[in-house]
Amino acid sequence: MAQEWEIKALGSVCAATGEPFSDGQSLISCLIRGETGYERRDYSESGWASSSKDGVASFWKTTYHAPPPPTAEPLKKETAEMLLRQYMAKEDFSRINAIYILAVMLERKRILVEKDVQTREDGVKIRIYEHKKTGEVFTIPDPDIKLTELESVQSEVEGLLGLNAPEELPTPGESA
């Protein structure tokens, strides 16, 4: 009968001293046979030298690489959602292009889900979005933004959100 082992990944602190490893630090990793199978332990070189080697089945020298810091989102989801909610509550459709772009951004972040597209008698498309968590429905007129207008709309939304980089915003034709 085959035995399954679940051996954890490299730790971030020394098993002997409890001190955190620093990026680029040499350390010793080992497998120790325990009651439930093999267990991995990671030691600084000084921690390894002072620890007992009883039960060690295998050991090797390795280098600790600190995980990269989490990448900050170029736009906080709450900010775009807050702004969209403000404009929708005021029924301020003077910024129809910005409202549409905000809705598309939230769709790409999987906060809003497009449920339907309806066309009014005057030919304007109405996109119906549902908020995934709350179930709220947003009806957003599609302003049919032209490629030539895109840069000015992106600048408008950047200004509203306090962003500087136009590449952070999706183009209206992209789908989620």
Q: Give per-residue pLDDT as tens, 26-42.
A: 999 999 987 878 889 99
Do 42 and 111 fall into the same domain?
A: no
The residue to which tokens 């046979």 are assigned: 33
Specify the pTM: 0.49
Last-in-domain residue among 37, 71, 105: 71
pLDDT in tens, 47-103: 999 998 988 999 999 999 988 887 766 656 568 888 888 888 887 677 888 888 889
> Are 88 and 21 within one domain?
no
- In a shared domain, residues 32 and 113: no
Closest by alpha carbon to 163, among 97, 118, 108, 98? 98
97 plus 67 within the same structural domain: no
In a domain, 3, yes or no: no
Range of the domain at 31: 8-71
Which residues on neighbouring strands pair with residue 142, listed in sequence order? 125
Q: How many domains does the chain have?
A: 2
Give the helix/strand (H/E) hosting 150: helix 147-161
